[in-house]
Amino acid sequence: MTLRRRLSAVFVVALLAVAGLATGAAPAVASNLEGGHWAHDGLAHSQIYFVDHTGAFWPVTSATYKWNEARGVDSYYVTRCPSSRLHCTDVYEFNDPSQTFYGETFLPLTDGNGHFRWNAAVYLNDATVHNSTQARKTTCQELGHVLGLDHQYTNTTCMMQGDAIALHISVTPNAHDFDMLHGLYAHAN
Ligand SMILES: [Zn+2]
Ligand SMILES: [Zn+2]
């Protein structure tokens, strides 16, 4: 993870980018939380709105519905951000052959309670993702980052980095991902 300021024209705070690299490995970890999460804002569940700006190649709809199975945090698929702009994550596709990652998520900094202070953004790379399996895995992973999950190093979950076909990586989350989210959001604020 690296600190990026690519979106500084839009976001007034520095953003944490989580890139889905085409290569890379790291030691196994028990927790795959990134450290931040979305505030409840007085609601029973935290709400996240995924605002889909992509075309049909990118399965933002199905990925959102799958993540919505997580307990304690509600994911909504929309094509326009609610007027409140509360917890909106814009999901874009782009085509940049100079970028080697499949997808990249920009997370805002967190406040003292670990709550993200502003909205997130997801970029899905048309230049590196060429088949529907990779598109499903990458979309699942970037949306998982938005909810607060980091990578896992097992191919039973979309949170593993790499080539989904060559490495037989799942295109959906696993039980560990859902357990981590349940724990992350199982509090009152
Ligand atoms: Zn990633
Ligand atoms: Zn909280």
The tens digit of pLDDT for each residue in 164-184 reads: 999 999 999 999 999 999 999
Instruction: For residue 87, report the distance from its CA to the centre of ligand 2, in Å.
Output: 13
C-alpha R_g of the chain: 15
Of the ligands numbered here, which is closest to the C-alpha atom of 122?
Answer: 1
Ligand nearest to the CA of 162: 1
How many whole angstroms from 107 Cα to the centroid of ligand 1? 12
Measured in Å, residue 152 CA sits from the centre of ligand 2 at 23
C-alpha to C-alpha distance for 47 and 38, rounded to whole angstroms: 8
Ligand nearest to the CA of 104: 1
Instruction: Name the closest ligand to CA 149.
Output: 1
Is the distance from CB of 186 to CB of 174 less than 8 angstroms? no
Q: Kind of pairing, strands 120-125 and 103-108?
A: antiparallel
Return mean pLDDT, the chain: 87
For residue 184, report the distance from its CA to the centre of ligand 2, in Å.
8
Q: What tens digit of pLDDT does each residue of 52-101 get?
A: 999 999 999 999 999 999 999 999 999 999 887 789 999 999 999 999 99
